[in-house]
């Protein structure tokens, strides 16, 4: 009797395991990848054109580097600006990220949006058409942007070789699991493939706090 009971329990356990695994697979929550993709966290920041920097800091002003950041050629600058919205709300000391770009963009968090009274669209960098207006104030002048304030969509930078390794394609939306006892699963993470990229999962500071990301952390892609 005891032996038969053990056999039944074993069979029941196997059925439950298979059922749970099938459910997770169908939901796209299984992975054969280890936690190998670095997680990088960004705070609110601004990207500017040459013309915008001239208005805010003076003609032909040059950004000065604090440190390089992960994506090749990009850096955090010493220069900071103040942001104001049409509701006359303000956020000070927002850092400019270089180098200069072909468009002006202000990347904010959800809490920043609440503080400024803005309903921020979630967009990839550069996708600013129809986004929120905002005013940028520098030491030499102010610039009113009719559009350009967004919340950055969470995304993974990778090269073509990385995309082959992780079996994903450019602009694909995936689920991503952050390691750790309190790690979370992020949905609608966009794959961004470029041969000039460095492998990294980018989230904002609020998302990082929700996932208890501290220090060096890694994630993996979940897929069917």
Q: Are 145 and 189 contained in the same domain? A: no
Whether residue 81 is contained in a domain is answered as yes
Q: Which of 131, 152, 173 is the last residue of a domain?
A: 152
Which one, of 33, 108, 44, lies nearest residue 80 by Cα? 44
Q: Which of 126, 152, 178 is the last residue of a domain?
A: 152
pTM, rounded to two decimals: 0.81
Q: Which of 110, 137, 152 is the last residue of a domain?
A: 152
Return per-residue pLDDT of the chain as tens, 224 residues.
555 555 665 565 556 544 544 454 455 544 556 899 999 999 999 999 999 999 999 999 999 999 999 899 999 999 999 999 999 999 999 999 999 999 999 999 999 999 999 999 999 999 999 999 999 999 999 999 999 999 999 999 999 999 999 999 999 999 999 998 778 999 999 999 999 999 999 999 999 999 989 888 999 999 75
Whether residue 2 is contained in a domain is answered as no
Whether residue 1 is contained in a domain is answered as no
Q: Are 52 and 131 contained in the same domain? A: yes
CA–CA dist 152, 98 (Å, integer): 17
- CA 150, 197, 57, 206 dihedral sign is positive
Whether residue 23 is contained in a domain is answered as no
Vertex 128: Cα angle to 132 and 77 (nearest 5) = 90
Can you give the residue range of the structural domain that contains 69?
44-152
- CA 12, 14, 16, 22 dihedral sign is negative
Burial class (CB in 10 A: 0-12, 13-18, 19+), 199: middle
Q: What is the 3-state secondary structure (H, E, C) of 176-208?
A: EEECCCCCCEEEEEEEEECCCCCCEEEEEHHHH
Total structural domains in the chain? 2
């Amino acid at each position: 009797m005891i032996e038969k009971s053990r056999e039944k329990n074993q069979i029941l356990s196997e059925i439950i395991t298979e059922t749970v695994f099938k459910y997770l697979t169908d939901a796209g929550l299984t992975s054969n990848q280890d936690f190998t993709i670095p997680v990088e966290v960004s705070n609110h920041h601004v990207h500017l054109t040459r013309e915008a920097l001239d208005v805010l800091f003076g003609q032909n002003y040059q950004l000065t580097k604090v440190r390089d950041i992960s994506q090749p050629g990009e850096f955090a600058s010493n220069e900071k600006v103040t942001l104001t919205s049409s509701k006359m709300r303000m956020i000070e000391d927002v850092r400019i990220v270089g180098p200069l770009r072909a468009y002006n963009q202000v990347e904010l968090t959800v809490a920043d949006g609440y503080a400024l009274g803005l309903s921020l669209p979630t967009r990839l960098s550069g996708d600013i058409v129809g986004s929120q207006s905002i005013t940028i104030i520098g030491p030499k002048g102010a610039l009113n942007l009719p559009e350009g304030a967004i919340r950055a969509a969470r995304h993974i930078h990778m090269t073509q070789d990385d995309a082959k390794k992780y079996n994903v394609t450019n602009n694909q939306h995936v689920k991503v699991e952050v390691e750790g006892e309190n790690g979370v699963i992020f949905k609608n993470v966009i794959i961004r493939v470029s041969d000039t990229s460095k492998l990294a999962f980018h989230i904002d500071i609020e998302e990082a706090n929700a996932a208890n990301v501290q220090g060096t952390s890694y994630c993996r892609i979940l897929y069917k």
